[in-house]
Structure formats: structure tokens, C-alpha cells
């Protein structure tokens, strides 16, 4: 029976969450790209620097079936359960919800009683998911105050529309589609909320048919991938506004709202511009007052492509003579001061001071891998790496930044056709403002296994929503 008191990993505010105990374990989605009949898995990594096993995998749970393509998994419960209207304040942060973007199967793993040995306790089969929600290709998991929210990239037939659906917090049964009125929204990717504003923001990528066989150059050059954000009324579940970025800005992916629920802004990453192959970060924000406020969006960071010898580029890029940065993930610290941006193409992890969100200032850069550079890790700089910083997860205190190097198997093969060699690294922030890679922490996975999403024991910067500033 669940205890009738809040989980000790729940905090009413981001400021208090930043003082939480340091994580000692990280959970990592492991994708089997070897096409050898083995399933994907959840890896457990020791991240306690005082441990003899620091930086190594100490646990692993294989899924029952091959071909899931595990993606952005998450916790079943979080600090949003402390909101006054939350009906589930007694639920524990205990279960990890792992969606398979290719299989449309959802796995529920229990991290108790032994956090190093999670147990598969429930599966939602694709037929049930599609019948009860109308969606397929589940992609991202975010804990909400009244349920576990996920999004699906499309309909059961692989076309659109995509959207959000909800699982019950305690039974994990699908409740159904979330939207009551979707308006013009058709494409789906990530979603984020401002609990203090009763607002949800969603982004766009493509339908399952548009993405699961790799990047389609014809669709890309035709501006058919996502290029807008959508604003919703959280309580009424209705679309209220579309924020157009422009057809040249393709694939508006990761969303990172301000952690302070009283602030009405957030950051969105855009993978590529058709004009010059640059990548960009956009700020969505609320402007106006006295009942006349509207949401708006503007570009606040632009990262240019890097010229390159066409002979060193994969076939998809040879005609351009440049490496696009390819922003594939963002993460925002709990104090809303620091934004991390991963450039998977050029192999760069950027750090920005976003204390003034309208005018970010670059404060750090690390190189690792990359399509052309192949920068090695400090523990062996002579050894070339491929892939690049991709998924980014920040510790609650903002001192540690974990990165992995696989994006999505069909797209990995196009940008890194020699095959991505999986790795996980750790960047740290020094008290003197330095930004560097931990030489002791560099985890490599076996051939064909690639690490993707990371979640930290007890929660992390991107898995919590808060009720109070």
C-alpha cells in the first residue's frame, strides 16, 4: 500500500529540489541497433564518485521483445503531485515508463526494492494503446499532477494526427486521448506545461510514416516537417494558439519550460534551417496583460553550420559541403539560469547563461565526437569518437550534465553510416565557472547497443514540474 505522505523526492519548488541529495544511479535506455534479434534494454549506471563501480553499468533489464526502439522514458510521479489540486500526492516516484516508438508498446518497470535491479511489472500492448487512445508510436513521458502524460507521433495507420494521451497514475491503464479540441494541430513531438498559467505547449516533428525510415530529403526540402509550436488550455484541453516559426525552420523538437511555475516562457530547439543549415533555439513567452495577453515566439540563439570537406561527409550531406549543428536536445537547470544545447552533428555541447531569457550568453563549450571532427574523450584524446552529444540530462543541483550519443536508429544510420559506437559521458560545472568533462566517467556500450535517454535516481532537472516558485 502506498504511504499517505508525500514521497521524499518531491519538492514544492525548484529551489528546494536543487538541494536534494546527489544521485547515485542513472537509468539509461539502451537501443539494440545490431538487427540481431536481441531486444532493447534499460541500463543502470553507477554515478557515485566514491564507488569502485563509478561510471560502469551495474544492472540491466532486457525488454521481452525485440524492435521496440525505446525512446524518451520517464518517472510515473514527480513534484507536481504537491500541487493543491493534485489528487495523487501519496503516489511514489517508483516506476519508470518506457515507450517503444517502433513497437507502440509501453513498459512499466518497478525500481523497488532494489534500484539496481528494476522489474518489469506491466506492459501495455500496441493494440490496447491504439484502441483506447487512437495514437501510435509513443514518444515522450512527462509526469503530471493528475496522470502520466505521453505523446504519440501519429494514428494507428502511421499517418496523423499525433497528440497526447494519459495513463492512470496507479493502474497505468490508458485513459484515452487528452485533446478535446485540437484545432489545426496535426504533427506531434514534445510537450511541456506551465502549471501556473494553465497552459500546455507542444512541438512538431513528423508522423510515424515520415520518420521511421529515416530523414526524407524530399519532405525536408519541401518544408513538410514540423515548424510551429502550439499553445493549449491545460484545464479545458483545447487548442488556443499556433506559433509559426517559418517553413525554413524544420523540426521544432525539444521543449524546456521555465522551471519556476510563475514564469511564462520556455525554450524550443530547432534542428535545421533550410536557408543555411544552421540550428537555432527559440523562446516562447507570454506578452501583454489585463486579459489581452498572447503567446509569442522569437529566435534567441543561432548556431551556424561548419564548412567541411565533402569527402568526409555522409551521402546525405555531401552536396552541401558543411556539417549542420543539428540541435537534438536542450536542458534547463532548475534555477532557470543555465541552458545546455546539444549539437549532435558537429559534436558540441554548448552552455548558455539564460538569466535574461531574451538575451542568452554563451558561457562554455565542449567537443566530443561529431560527423567530421571525431573529437576524443579526455581519458584518451587520440581515439576518435563518432556520434555526438545528443540526449542531455542535468542533475538537480545543476553541477553535473550527462550526455549520450544516439538519436534514433534510422537517423543514426544516415548521419553516421559507419555505425554509432555508443557512449555516455559526464560534464561538470566548477565553482569557478569552468565547464569540463569528467575524465573518470566515460561509459562505452557493446557493439550495436546505443544509449539514449537518461533518468536520474530521485529525479532530475527535466523530469519534474513544480507548484510553487
CATH number, position 358: 2.130.10.10
Report in angstroms the alpha-carbon separations of 171 from 54, 129, 152, 166, 194: 35, 14, 20, 12, 26
β partners of residue 41: 30, 62
74-83, 105-114, 345-354: least confidently modelled range: 74-83
Query: What does the pLDDT average to over 197-203?
Result: 96
Report in angstroms the alpha-carbon separations of 70 from 42, 238, 288, 461: 9, 29, 41, 21
Report in angstroms the alpha-carbon separations of 246 from 251, 305, 358, 463: 11, 19, 19, 30
- What stretch of H or E contains 133? helix 126-133
Cβ 350 vs Cβ 340: under 8 Å: yes
Joined grid coordinates for residue 23: 544521485
d(CA 356, CA 263): 12
Whole-model pTM? 0.97
pLDDT band (50, 70, 90) for residue 296: very high
Joined grid coordinates for residue 204: 512538431
Assess if residue 5 is contained within a domain. Answer: no
User: How many residues are given for the chain?
Assistant: 469
pLDDT band (50, 70, 90) for residue 1: very low
State yes or no: pLDDT of 145 exceeds 90.
no
Cβ 220 vs Cβ 273: under 8 Å: no
**pLDDT (0 to 100) of residue 4:** 60
Cβ 131 vs Cβ 141: under 8 Å: no
**pLDDT (0 to 100) of residue 178:** 97
Residue whose C-alpha is closest to residue 254's, from 400, 365, 410, 140? 140
State yes or no: pLDDT of 84 exceeds 90.
no
d(CA 169, CA 173): 8
Joined grid coordinates for residue 290: 489585463
Question: At residue 79, what are phi and psi to the nearest 5 degrees?
Answer: -65, -15
d(CA 71, CA 114): 23
pLDDT tens digit sequence for 421-443: 999 999 999 999 999 999 999 99
d(CA 189, CA 203): 5
Assess if residue 406 is contained within a domain. Answer: yes
Question: At residue 415, what are phi and psi to the nearest 5 degrees?
Answer: -90, -25
d(CA 340, CA 252): 16
59 φψ region: left (φ > 0), alpha (ψ -120 to 50), beta (else):
beta
Query: What does the pLDDT average to over 352-365?
Result: 98
Cβ 69 vs Cβ 409: under 8 Å: yes
Assess if residue 8 is contained within a domain. Answer: no
Cβ 138 vs Cβ 152: under 8 Å: yes
State yes or no: pLDDT of 320 exceeds 60.
yes
Cβ 283 vs Cβ 257: under 8 Å: no
> Judging by beta carbons within 10 Å of its beta carbon (0-12, 13-18, 19+), is residue 48 exposed, middle or buried?
middle
23 φψ region: left (φ > 0), alpha (ψ -120 to 50), beta (else):
beta
Q: Which domain holds residue 397?
A: 14-19+26-456
State yes or no: pLDDT of 377 exceeds 50.
yes
303 φψ region: left (φ > 0), alpha (ψ -120 to 50), beta (else):
beta
Query: What does the pLDDT average to over 46-72?
Result: 97
pLDDT tens digit sequence for 2-38: 556 788 999 999 999 999 999 999 999 999 998 889 9
Query: What does the pLDDT average to over 325-330?
Result: 98
d(CA 350, CA 362): 7
pLDDT band (50, 70, 90) for residue 87: low
d(CA 165, CA 177): 4
**pLDDT (0 to 100) of residue 290:** 64
Assess if residue 9 is contained within a domain. Answer: no
87-91, 164-168, 395-399, 446-450: least confidently modelled range: 87-91
Looking at the structure of the chain, the number of domains it has is: 1
Residue whose C-alpha is closest to residue 333's, from 144, 193, 460? 460
Strand order of the β-sheet with 265-273 is 249-257, 265-273, 279-287, 294-303
Assess if residue 7 is contained within a domain. Answer: no
Query: What does the pLDDT average to over 283-298?
Result: 88
Query: What does the pLDDT average to over 206-216?
Result: 97
Cβ 464 vs Cβ 80: under 8 Å: yes
Core vs surface per residue 189-217: b (16+ CB within 10 A) or e: bbbbbbbbbebbbbbbbbbbbbbbeebee
Assess if residue 4 is contained within a domain. Answer: no
Assess if residue 291 is contained within a domain. Answer: yes
Query: What does the pLDDT average to over 372-380?
Result: 96
Task: Give the number of C-alpha atoms closer than 13 A to the C-alpha of residue 387, restricted to the C-beta side.
Answer: 25
Amino acid at each position: 500500500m502506498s504511504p499517505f505522505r508525500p514521497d521524499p523526492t518531491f519538492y514544492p519548488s525548484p529551489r528546494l529540489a536543487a538541494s536534494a541529495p546527489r544521485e547515485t544511479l542513472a537509468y539509461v535506455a539502451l537501443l539494440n541497433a545490431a538487427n540481431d534479434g536481441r531486444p532493447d534494454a534499460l541500463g543502470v549506471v553507477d554515478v557515485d564518485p566514491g564507488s569502485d563501480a563509478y561510471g560502469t553499468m551495474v544492472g540491466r533489464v532486457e525488454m521481452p521483445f525485440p524492435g521496440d526502439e525505446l525512446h524518451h522514458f520517464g518517472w510515473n510521479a514527480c513534484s507536481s503531485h504537491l500541487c493543491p489540486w493534485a489528487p495523487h500526492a501519496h503516489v511514489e516516484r517508483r516506476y519508470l515508463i518506457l515507450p517503444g516508438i517502433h513497437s507502440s508498446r509501453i513498459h512499466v518497470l518497478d525500481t523497488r526494492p532494489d534500484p539496481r535491479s528494476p522489474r518489469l511489472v506491466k506492459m501495455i500492448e500496441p493494440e490496447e494503446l491504439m484502441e483506447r487512445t487512437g495514437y501510435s508510436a509513443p514518444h515522450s513521458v512527462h509526469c503530471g499532477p493528475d496522470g502520466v502524460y505521453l505523446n504519440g507521433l501519429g494514428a494507428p495507420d502511421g499517418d496523423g494526427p499525433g497528440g497526447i494521451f494519459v495513463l492512470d497514475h496507479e493502474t497505468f491503464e490508458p485513459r484515452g486521448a487528452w485533446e478535446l479540441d485540437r484545432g489545426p494541430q496535426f504533427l506531434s513531438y514534445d510537450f511541456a506545461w506551465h502549471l501556473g498559467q494553465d497552459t500546455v505547449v507542444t512541438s512538431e516533428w513528423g508522423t510515424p510514416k515520415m520518420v521511421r525510415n529515416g530523414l526524407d530529403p524530399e519532405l525536408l526540402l519541401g518544408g513538410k516537417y514540423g515548424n510551429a509550436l502550439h499553445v493549449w488550455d491545460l484545464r479545458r484541453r483545447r487548442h488556443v494558439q499556433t506559433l509559426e516559426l517559418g517553413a525554413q525552420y524544420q523540426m521544432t523538437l525539444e521543449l524546456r519550460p521555465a522551471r519556476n511555475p510563475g514564469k511564462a516562457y520556455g525554450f524550443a530547439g530547432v534542428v535545421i534551417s533550410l536557408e543555411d543549415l544552421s540550428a537555432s533555439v527559440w523562446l516562447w513567452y507570454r506578452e501583454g496583460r489585463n486579459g489581452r495577453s498572447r503567446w509569442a515566439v522569437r529566435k534567441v540563439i543561432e548556431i551556424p553550420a561548419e564548412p567541411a570537406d565533402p569527402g568526409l561527409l555522409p551521402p546525405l550531406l555531401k552536396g552541401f559541403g558543411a556539417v549542420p549543428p543539428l540541435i537534438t536536445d536542450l536542458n534547463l537547470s532548475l534555477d532557470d539560469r543555465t541552458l545546455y544545447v546539444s549539437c549532435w552533428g558537429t559534436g558540441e555541447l554548448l552552455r548558455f547563461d539564460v538569466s535574461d531569457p531574451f538575451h542568452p550568453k554563451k558561457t562554455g563549450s565542449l567537443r566530443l565526437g561529431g560527423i567530421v571532427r571525431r573529437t576524443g574523450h579526455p581519458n584518451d584524446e587520440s581515439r576518435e569518437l563518432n556520434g555526438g552529444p545528443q540526449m542531455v540530462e542535468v542533475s538537480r543541483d545543476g553541477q553535473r550534465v550527462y550526455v549520450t550519443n544516439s538519436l534514433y536508429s534510422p537517423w543514426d544510420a544516415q548521419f553516421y553510416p559507419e555505425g554509432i559506437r555508443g557512449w555516455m559521458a559526464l560534464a561538470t560545472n566548477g565553482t569557478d565557472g569552468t565547464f569540463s568533462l569528467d575524465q573518470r566517467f566515460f561509459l562505452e556500450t557493446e557493439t550495436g547497443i546505443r544509449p539514449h535517454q537518461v533518468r536520474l535516481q530521485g529525479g532530475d532537472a527535466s523530469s519534474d514540474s513544480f507548484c510553487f516558485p
